Amino acid sequence: MSNIHIGLFGFGVVGQGVFEVIRKSKNAHAEIARICVRDPKKPRKIAVDPALFTDRAEEILDNPHIDLVVEVINDAEEAYRIVRQALLKGIPVVSGNKAMLAKHLPELIEIQKKNRVALLYDASSCGSIPVIRNLEEYYDNDLLLEVKGILNGSSNYILSRVFDHRESYADALRQAQELGFAESDPSFDIEGYDSLFKLVIITVHALGAYVAPERIFTYGIASIHESDIRYAREKRVKIKLVAQVVKVSDEHFTMFVMPEFVEPSRYIYSVDDEYNGVVIRGECYDRQFMFGKGAGSLPTASSILSDVMARLHDYRYEYKKREYLQKPTYTTDLSLKIYVRYSQTNILHVLHFEEILEQYISTESNYVIGMVRLSELLAKRDSLRARDLFIANIPIFFLDRDN
Ligand code: HSE
């Protein structure tokens, strides 16, 4: 088997991991032929032949000896231009850029089909856990009812440190940054957008449906407060940032990203630190659970290596579920049971509750638990960003099709 020649875009945390993982793997049949970076002269932590570096994308994209582009840069729009150009030129691509994919997948799927060229991106969702390829291949049927889990390592790391180790939120965030889990702008992690992008990509492979990120209610952990943690401890639950796509009827599915009260009996209860955990529920087989490192240089790079190896065997996603006749449609027309902690903002003036189940008022902090339409949460999302509010989902069961 001859070696696959890789043109690598990006040499940050993940790019360097790709370099190391390929060097470690004895049967990789892959070599990095060129590395495109913004500053080829920048000193690097690992020893790399300086001649491999370039700052000119054409030296990869117009190079007839390059068999595969691996794109792991930070800038989503620049990544889009590179990936699009490579695919239009017929060069297969492996990418880890969830923000770029979540925004541009419909167009990139069309280009793949038209140009008969592959784009693989298992590293974009849940680091080392092979979520995408499993959804695409093993779950290629309509038994699937739900994919739900912890998709962001940094926010999970922060919650674990705060919850289990009683550290401060700020210290935990700094550690997540130092350990290379967090995005260059960590607000993507803590405000839920990183989980959202991964959820959009996962849904394309779970249900064959693409939903644009701005149509999905997303709420993070940025405003979590000691009183929320105390409340959760008293109730013997943990707070986790959970992303989910769920079939709510035969015809409809919903999606949202929110902190959630997780009971000890749930698989994701014991997913801590930078680990991710994904629960897949389907008719006939109930629940299955995938667990692993969702962030960090080498775990993410190992997923890139898996896609590189898959290309040696001409693997490509076929997006078979997108052709299904009875593809379910996206809805936000359903009720969720939520907890809202508030102080200055009178939540009952901001959000319409269909039903209030519990309310607590004190000099320190107040909370209300009640039923709210998901469409109402989506419509009010800007007002809900007030720093004196924190919202968590209290899970309810949508569709029992196990019998
Ligand atoms: N910032 C991301 C996370 C990196 O914390 O999960 C992996 O996608």
Model confidence over 64-86: pLDDT tens digits?
A: 999 999 999 999 999 999 999 99
For position 403, what pLDDT does the model report? 40
Percent of the chain clearing pLDDT 90 (strictly above): 89
pLDDT grade, residue 325 (50/70/90)?
Answer: low
Q: Which residue is associated with the tokens 């500053």?
A: 39
pLDDT grade, residue 400 (50/70/90)?
Answer: low
Q: Is 79 left (phi over 0), alpha (psi -120 to 50) or beta?
A: alpha
Give the tens place of pLDDT for each residue, 95-131: 999 999 999 999 999 999 999 999 999 999 999 999 9
115 with 137, same domain: the answer is no
Domain that holds residue 289: 130-294
User: Is any ligand 1 atom within 6 A of the Cβ of residue 292?
Assistant: no
For position 401, what pLDDT does the model report? 56
Closest approach atom of ligand 1 to CA 126: 8
Report the chain's C-alpha Rg in angstroms: 22
Residue 246: is its pLDDT beyond 70?
Answer: yes
Closest approach atom of ligand 1 to CA 186: 1
Helix, strand, or coil here: 172? helix
- In this prediction, residues 383-397 reach a mean pLDDT of 93
Assess if residue 322 is contained within a domain.
no
111 with 152, same domain: the answer is no
Distance CA 244, CA 234 (A): 26
pLDDT grade, residue 327 (50/70/90)?
Answer: confident
Assess if residue 324 is contained within a domain.
no
For position 182, what pLDDT does the model report? 92
Residue 326: is its pLDDT beyond 80?
Answer: no
pLDDT grade, residue 365 (50/70/90)?
Answer: confident
Nearest CA owner, ligand 1 atom 4: 295
Ligand 1 site-directed mutation target among 74, 156, 183, most atoms within 8 Å of CB: 183
Cite the active site residues: 198
Residue 402: is its pLDDT beyond 70?
Answer: no
Closest approach atom of ligand 1 to CA 151: 6
For position 165, what pLDDT does the model report? 93
116 with 159, same domain: the answer is no
142 with 262, same domain: the answer is yes
User: Is any ligand 1 atom within 6 A of the Cβ of residue 149?
Assistant: no
249 with 168, same domain: the answer is yes
- In this prediction, residues 152-160 reach a mean pLDDT of 97
User: Is any ligand 1 atom within 6 A of the Cβ of residue 127?
Assistant: yes
345 with 289, same domain: the answer is no
> What's the residue count for the chain?
403
Report the CATH number that the domain containing residue 31 is assigned in CATH. 3.40.50.720
- State in Å: Cα 3 to ligand 1 middle: 30
Contact 247, 281 (CB under 8 A): no
- State in Å: Cα 45 to ligand 1 middle: 21
Distance CA 131, CA 133 (A): 6
Residue 323: is its pLDDT beyond 90?
Answer: no
100 with 144, same domain: the answer is no
Dihedral (Cα; 134, 140, 144, 148), 10-degree rounding? 30
Q: Mean pLDDT across the chain, nearest whole number? A: 95
Contact 257, 130 (CB under 8 A): no
User: Is any ligand 1 atom within 6 A of the Cβ of residue 154?
Assistant: yes
Q: How many domains does the chain fold into?
A: 3
Q: Is 296 left (phi over 0), alpha (psi -120 to 50) or beta?
A: left
164 with 260, same domain: the answer is yes
Assess if residue 385 is contained within a domain.
yes
- In this prediction, residues 263-289 reach a mean pLDDT of 96
For position 31, what pLDDT does the model report? 94
- In this prediction, residues 238-264 reach a mean pLDDT of 97
Residue 263: is its pLDDT beyond 70?
Answer: yes
Residue 170: is its pLDDT beyond 50?
Answer: yes
142 with 283, same domain: the answer is yes
Of 145, 140, 122, nearest to 299 (Cα)?
122
DSSP-derived pairing of the beta strands 366-373 and 335-342: antiparallel
